[in-house]
Structure 1
């Protein structure tokens, strides 16, 4: 009798089910097909594309990489198809495609596209990557702000407004004081003030977080545009001529070919960004602060049960996120010595939100996503300089096409923190 019961019990045990998301391999196949159509419909004349790896100030010189256009482009096409197949294999076997497959695919596709687009010309690799990093820095700060906010359970749609407030305040304060560091501190405070409004309405008064964020973006855009027209523009010499942070080359490291000019000949804002990424990752996954942060975003009731003050934890972390986004806004003004202008962030906050989703709410992955968006933005400038046959209208669309590509196609199955966007009512 017992054996029968055991057999009956075994028969009803649930089997492990693998949930598969085919979005990634399908997206990779689509873009491989588009690349194939490009090579067939617009073949480039035979020749070579030169990739310049070194600059004149490097510690030692590295020979240029010369690639035959037709052979390289078609080889990259074949490799892209193989990688799409590898992605499909991982999804079929394990349920999801690993991130490294997507990264390698993007590198292969970019090399093939650049070889085709710059046929007969020279691609300055160090300049392309350095410009990409420069454009990615505000996105990385914004993505870190988004990760912190959403891990705490608050959707930070107001990143765009925090970046814009930081850019405006940095330009104004740095122009008055003549000290870029004063503008940096003021920008962090401005970002915190915008975040404080978001936190107060969404956490204390339980207003829909998305609506509050959208309203704040519109409010900051309108306020800074009004102050620009009425205050900064008439007094441009004294209020809107910000100094810029000087570049600080790190000895020896800055002279390494390719890596040195890209990463180690930067300003204080960029070096602070390196530190912020590391600290946020360590803090989020290795410290008690990070444990509490993730607890209030995943299961606030359980966090409250063990004595964590849920709303207070959310409030202070949203302020921290706002400070990071405010610092990111300084890139648009004192980071490059540029006067403030109306809505000069141009949607960077929303691309930062896309990086948060693409990075699956992880600081390192979100940083990599922001770097990809920065590369796509700078690619249009590089291709324009080298005389690419790609229409300029398409190049202007490229950063946003990449955003749609990675969010709608490559992300695959991902899950936001369980309590993200859900207000917590004690009791």
Structure 2
């Protein structure tokens, strides 16, 4: 089945890279910040691409859109990120039409996540649609598709326990810290940056450790103060970073910068320091590991921490997949209907024109001609005829195109897409 095409020559493609084949360093190269996403959408619009979603998270960067060839989308991604076409060809993937639709359902429902049942991704799907809508680069197909994926995600969350128990990178971070650091409530913890996973980790640390001396530093102090108030953190100036690192037992880095913000040159401490880098791209230079007292743990290592919660979640996978498949099938049926809707509409219009002419002719010939009854009977016949055609087109999905062409030819229809 061909997906609903915006133009005769375009298909619906997904191009992307994810944690499955790309490590953190490569994912960092292909990641897009807000400015990159906006520039990409503007360029796509100028290039005549009608309908595009851009998703960039710590685990994946993906473009979903209509193009004449997937290379158009690959070029857009490489132009606006630090990734190259050669690298993409090594680790990237391309899906088309039905496969592309299925992939977005898997991603949006958390069934393709690094941690099964992680529902963070659905808010990214929503946000990517909002961004595209602001740029006027969406269409009815994308809107309906995103709504269907959101509906599937909600149902899986409500009808299964696949997201039960606390399993996320933030939770894994706290688990790791608790298992490695004794007397955590007495330790000095420093959060550098205001990235979402870092914030969630700190919130969990406050909850689980009763630690009341967690320090937050961010380049923008106003942003730091806003978050600090929420999580009961102390805020220090960016200029104090080196001094605060010296005092710390644990450093959590979540700056969202495109290049490393912490290197061994910043670290002047002889006591043991655990550094958690919760950023994509990596924000901690690997050279910190040259220091004997420093342990560096990256997001990817934390994502691999599996526990009983995760094993328990796998039991609910079949039910979650069944719900996803049901919503996806409904969406694809709607898609089929959209393909022949213009033909049925044009057929109805043609039959109505024939009916009006015939009633007009009979009115002149027959005395006491009953217009009302003639309208009722002929409209019902037209409805029955068009329903028969619609059912035929619905049931013959393998050769719908040929049937549409035949109906158009027989009735000399003028259809509008």
Q: TM-score range by the shorter chain?
A: under 0.3
Q: Which has the larger radius of gyration?
A: 2
Higher relative contact order (CA 8 A, sep 6+): 1
- Could you state the TM-score of these two structures normalised by the residue count of structure 1? 0.20
Greater strand fraction, Structure 1 or Structure 2:
2
- Could you state the TM-score of these two structures normalised by the residue count of structure 2? 0.21
Greater helix fraction, Structure 1 or Structure 2:
1
